[in-house]
Amino acid sequence: MTEPQALPFLSRLSLAIGSFFALLGDGRLAARVQALRAGAPLASEVPAPAPVQAPPPPPPAPAPVRATANVDAALQLLALLQREARFVDFLQEDIAAYSDADVGGAARLLHGGARKVLQETFDLEPVRAEAEGTRLTLPAGFDAAAVRVTGNVVGQPPFTGTLQHKGWRATAVRLPALTAGHDARVIAPAEVEL
C-alpha cells in the first residue's frame, strides 16, 4: 500500500477543525478514531482470516464507549468561533480562486479570533512536558490514548523515540450557559441592514 501524499497546511487545518466537530457530535466515530490512535488496523489493512479448525475463543468484552457528545455544546462552540473568527464563513468560502497571500491574510484574522475563543473556553496543557525533539522511552503500559506512536513500530514496549509533538489535554471547559428557548442550531443569525 502506498503512503498518501502530505496535505498542504490549509487542507490540514480544515480537516482538523472538521474532524474536531465530527468527533464531538459522533461518539461512535470518536471510539473508532481512538482505536486507530491506539494502533488498531484500518479495515482495509486487516488480512482475510485463515480458516479456523478450533472453535474461536470467546470475544473480548466490548470496550467502554463514552456517551454521545452534547450536540448543543458543539453547536455553541461553533457559534463562538463564527462570532469571533468568522470561522464558518471562512470554511464555506471556496478559496481556490484566491492567491496564497489573500488566503494567508484571511487565515491571520481567523487565527486571532479562534485563538481568543480557545483561550476563553478551554484551559489546555501539554500531554508531555519534555521539549519537542527530546529522545524518550515509553514504558510498557503507557497511555496509548495520550501518546500516539508513529514510524517503524515493531514489537512491544518499551519504545524509544523522538517527541515530535507534545500533544494537548483540556483541563477545563467554560461554555456560557444557554438561555431557555435558545436554538443552538442557529450558528449565526442572518443579518438584515435597514
Over 80: is that where the pLDDT of 15 sits? no
Say how many Å lie between the first and final Cα of the chain, rounded: 59
pLDDT of residue 113: 92
Q: What is the pLDDT of residues 100-121, one digit of tens each?
A: 999 998 898 899 999 999 999 9
Q: Is residue 180 part of a domain?
A: yes
pLDDT of residue 33: 75
pLDDT of residue 84: 92
Q: Is residue 158 part of a domain?
A: yes
Q: Is residue 96 part of a domain?
A: yes
71 shares a domain with 149 = no
134 shares a domain with 75 = no
Q: What is the pLDDT of residues 37-91, one digit of tens each?
A: 777 766 655 566 666 567 777 777 776 665 556 788 888 899 999 999 989 988 9
pLDDT of residue 36: 75
Count the domains in the chain.
2
Tell which phi-psi region holds residue 86, choosing left (phi > 0), alpha (psi between -120 and 50) or beta: left
Query: Which pTM value belongs to this model?
Result: 0.57
Over 80: is that where the pLDDT of 25 sits? no
162 shares a domain with 76 = no
**Residues 113, 81: contact at Cβ < 8 Å?**
yes
- Domain region containing 146: 128-166
Over 80: is that where the pLDDT of 187 sits? yes
pLDDT of residue 177: 84
